[in-house]
C-alpha cells in the first residue's frame, strides 16, 4: 500500500481532497441535525422527572400551534371544518383524529395492560404505583371484561380497584383468587349529576359522589368507558375545577371517546376544556373491533390515555423516599 502512495502522489492528493470534502459536508449533520436545531433548541437536557416533563410540555405546546394552523387551512374557523367525505351529517370521523394526536411524551415507561384488543388500555408509569400503599384505581364500564383491571392487580402490591357498571353484576372472570380481595364492585352508573333516589334505576352518581362515598380524595388511575356519556360527565366534573383552579382529582385517565352526533366545533371546545384542566394525551388507538364490525367502517370510536400534568400526583411528582426508578418504598 505504501508503494502505491509513493508512486502516485497525484492519486494520494485526490484521495485527501475527497476525504476532506466528505468530512466538511458531514460536519453540520454530526454537530446537530435540522430537527434538533429547529425543534429541540432550548429544551432542558437533564433526565430527572422535571426535565422530562418540561420537554414534553415544550413539544406539546408546538402541537397546539400546529393544530391552529391545520384548522385555519381547512376552516378557516372551527365551524367551517368539513371533514372527509363531505356532505355527511353531522360529520364523519375519518380525519378528525388528525387534529388531536396523542403528542405528549409520557415521562415514564408506557405499558399496555389487559387484552391485545378491546379491553386493554395503555398506562403511563405503572411502576410509579407498584409499591404505593394507598393506590386507588376506578374503573367505570366493565362489560364483564376485566383483563385491564386484572393486570393492574398483578403489577402492583397494594392497588385497590373500585368498579362500576349497571349492565353487569360483577367484574369479569379475568380477576381470580386472591385478587378479588382488592376489588370493590357496585352496579352504578357514572353521570354528570346524581340520580340515585328510590325510584331511580339504574342509580347514577357523579365521580365526586362516588369518591365521597368511598372516602377518597384522589384517584391514581381512572378508566372510563360509558358509551358517549363521557362528554356530559367530564364536562360536569371538570368545570368546577377549572373555575376554582384546583387540579383534577386523578393522576391519569384512560378514556374511550364516542364522537356520535357532534360537530367539529363542539368536539374542539370539549377537547380544549380537557387540555385547560391539564390533561395531555400520551397514547391513542382506534377501536378496530367497532370499526370492522360496523358495516360502514366508521372510525368514530377511539381509545385515548391522558396524563394529568397539574397538581402533585405520583406520575408527575417524586414521592419522598422514591428511588431513581420512580418506585415508592412502602
Answer whether 0.85 is exceeded by the pTM: no
- What is the Cα–Cα distance from 208 to 225, expressed in whole angstroms? 17
pLDDT score recorded for residue 319: 76
- What is the Cα–Cα distance from 164 to 140, expressed in whole angstroms? 5
Using 70 as the pLDDT threshold, list the residues of the chain that sit under it.
Answer: 1-44, 83-94, 287-299, 320-330
252 forms beta bridges with 221, 307
pLDDT score recorded for residue 12: 52
pLDDT score recorded for residue 40: 55
pLDDT score recorded for residue 220: 98
Taking alpha carbons only, the member of 221, 287, 220 closest to residue 260 is 287
Could you report the per-residue pLDDT of 239-286, keeping only the tens digit for each?
999 999 999 999 999 999 988 778 899 999 999 999 999 999 999 987
- What is the Cα–Cα distance from 111 to 281, expressed in whole angstroms? 15
pLDDT score recorded for residue 77: 95
Please count the residues of the chain.
330
Q: Which residue has the cell 384505581?
A: 137
CATH number of 49-308: 3.40.50.150
pLDDT score recorded for residue 96: 84
Could you report the per-residue pLDDT of 220-241, keeping only the tens digit for each?
999 999 888 899 999 999 999 9
Cis peptide before 296 (omega within 30 of 0): no
Q: What angle do CA 307, 311, 314 make, to 5 degrees?
A: 60
pLDDT score recorded for residue 324: 37
- What is the Cα–Cα distance from 103 to 219, expressed in whole angstroms? 24
Amino acid at each position: 500500500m505504501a508503494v502505491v502512495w509513493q508512486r502516485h502522489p497525484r492519486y494520494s492528493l485526490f484521495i485527501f481532497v475527497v476525504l476532506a470534502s466528505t468530512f466538511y459536508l458531514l460536519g453540520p449533520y454530526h454537530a446537530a441535525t435540522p430537527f434538533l436545531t429547529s425543534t429541540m433548541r432550548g429544551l432542558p437536557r437533564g433526565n430527572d422527572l422535571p426535565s422530562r416533563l418540561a420537554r414534553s410540555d415544550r413539544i406539546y405546546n408546538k402541537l397546539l400551534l400546529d393544530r391552529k394552523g391545520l384548522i385555519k387551512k381547512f376552516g378557516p374557523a372551527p365551524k367551517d371544518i368539513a371533514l372527509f367525505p363531505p356532505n355527511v351529517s353531522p360529520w364523519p370521523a375519518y380525519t378528525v383524529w388528525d387534529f388531536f394526536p396523542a403528542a405528549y411524551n409520557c415521562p415514564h415507561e408506557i405499558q399496555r395492560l389487559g387484552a391485545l384488543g378491546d379491553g386493554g388500555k395503555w398506562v403511563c408509569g405503572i411502576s410509579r404505583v407498584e409499591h404505593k400503599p394507598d393506590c386507588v384505581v376506578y374503573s367505570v364500564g366493565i362489560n364483564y371484561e376485566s383483563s385491564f383491571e386484572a393486570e393492574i392487580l398483578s403489577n402492583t402490591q397494594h392497588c385497590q380497584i373500585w368498579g362500576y357498571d349497571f349492565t353487569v353484576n360483577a367484574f369479569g372472570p379475568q380477576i381470580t383468587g386472591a385478587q378479588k380481595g382488592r376489588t370493590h364492585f357496585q352496579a352504578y352508573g357514572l353521570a354528570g349529576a346524581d340520580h340515585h333516589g328510590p325510584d331511580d334505576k339504574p342509580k347514577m352518581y357523579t365521580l365526586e359522589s362516588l369518591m365521597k362515598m368511598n372516602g377518597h380524595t384522589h384517584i391514581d388511575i381512572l378508566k372510563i368507558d360509558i358509551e358517549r356519556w363521557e362528554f356530559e360527565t367530564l364536562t360536569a366534573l371538570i368545570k368546577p375545577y377549572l373555575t376554582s383552579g384546583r387540579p383534577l382529582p386523578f393522576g391519569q385517565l384512560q378514556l374511550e371517546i364516542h364522537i356520535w352526533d357532534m360537530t367539529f366545533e363542539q368536539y374542539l371546545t370539549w377537547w380544549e376544556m380537557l387540555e385547560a384542566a391539564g390533561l395531555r394525551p400520551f397514547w391513542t388507538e382506534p377501536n378496530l373491533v367497532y370499526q370492522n364490525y360496523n358495516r360502514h367502517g366508521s372510525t368514530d370510536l377511539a381509545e385515548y390515555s391522558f396524563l394529568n400534568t397539574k397538581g402533585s400526583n405520583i406520575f408527575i411528582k417524586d414521592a419522598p423516599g422514591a428511588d431513581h426508578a420512580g418506585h415508592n418504598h412502602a
